[in-house]
Structure 1
Amino acid sequence: MSKILVVEDEPMLLDMICSYLKENNYEVIGVKEYDKALNLAYENSFDLWIFDVKIIGGSGFDLLKELRQSGRGTPCIFVTSLNTINDLKDGFTSGCDDYIKKPFELKELLLRVNNILKRTFVHNIDEFENINSKLKFDVRHGILYKNGEILPLANKQSRLLLMLIKNRDKFITRDEIFNEIWEYDEEPSELSLRVYISELRKIIGKDRIISQSKLGYKYV
């Protein structure tokens, strides 16, 4: 049973999230305060953290930064009402793996939790892939940097690039990509996949992604 730490300062929402995740076979501990969350994260081995940004005694961003600086690599989802591009940037640069805006459906949160825990391989590979002298990809957090600055990618683009890097020099089929990148309630789109591949080639170089009609795509 995977173990999750939830940090949320709204008592009703905290109770709802914890109860829902427990109903879906997760072991959950919920707290409202920065210091309690920090101590729990240090003292326990969690499979996932879910942090609100505005918490009692501090910021979820600062909480995650402090944990990352101490070497903790547990995946993290931010839950917040903040919604500007700078907020998004702060969240990912502090080390989060996903970001969900309030209000949200508990079912959506569960989908994201399941997806993050399914991709635990992210935390067992090198932290950065140096694509070329200007580009590097943070494989832990799914962020592409150009000359040290974040180069925004759509969620599916980022996940596709991660999947390609993870399978370096190995073809991955379209069906494998659809199963990994598209959610269960989405209709896979061959046209969309081609667009994502085309856009990634423009960014990282057309020779870095090889395609064969029967085999799929390969990062080299």
Structure 2
Amino acid sequence: MKNILVVEGDRYFRNLLCEFLRDNNFHVIEAKNIFMGSYLAKEQYPDLIIYSLEIVEEIGYQTFQKMHDNSTNFQIPLIFLTKNIDISYPLKKVSQMKAGILLKKTVGFSRILEVIQIQLDQDIEDFRFR
């Protein structure tokens, strides 16, 4: 069973996503902020991390990048979810960080599941931005 860390500040969305992932046979670790997420990533060794981009934006892209650059967990695949309608700026920032995939939260859980399964089957060099 693969471990997925979900770092999401919106409790309602986090609960729905985590329940969906558990129903699809993932072990899910939950964090409501980036600092708890960073701690849990070091303690739990997840196979993949899903971040709310709004949480990353709260601390800033540079701070987020430094946290991951200084972490042994930087090789963990990352998926960023955003509620923003216009994703051109966030997509540019995520691309610059070379950190993972960006999806709109509105794509639906089934699409998120597809991307998770693809990422768990790929090496970090094969990441694509969506």
1:9 alignment partner, SS class: coil
Query: In the alignment, is residue 97 of structure 1 matched against residue 100 of structure 2?
Result: yes
- Paired-residue identity, %: 24
Query: Aligned residue for 1:54?
Result: 54
One-letter identity of the residue aligned with 1:15? N
Structure 2: any 5+ residue segments left out of the alignment?
Answer: none
Task: Tell me if structure 2 keeps the 8 A contact 1:76–1:96.
Answer: yes
One-letter identity of the residue aligned with 2:3? K
Q: Which has the higher helix share?
A: 2
Query: Aligned residue for 2:20?
Result: 20
Cα separation, 1, equivalents of 2:43 and 2:24: 24
Cα separation, 1, equivalents of 2:108 and 2:60: 21
Structure 1: any 5+ residue segments left out of the alignment?
Answer: 124-138, 144-154, 156-220
Query: In the alignment, is residue 74 of structure 1 matched against residue 101 of structure 2?
Result: no
Cα separation, 2, equivalents of 1:14 and 1:75: 19
Whose Rg is larger?
Answer: 1
Task: Tell me if structure 1 keeps the 8 A contact 2:101–2:128.
Answer: no
TM-score (norm 2): 0.83
TM-score (norm 1): 0.52
Deviation of residue 141 (structure 1)?
4.2
Query: Aligned residue for 2:36?
Result: 36
Task: Tell me if structure 2 keeps the 8 A contact 1:53–1:59.
Answer: no
Deviations 1:144-165 (A, max 9, x none): xxxxxxxxxxx6xxxxxxxxxx
Figure out how many residues of one structure are paired with residues of the other and give that number. 127
CA RMSD of superposed structures (Å): 2.4
Cα separation, 2, equivalents of 1:140 and 1:67: 22
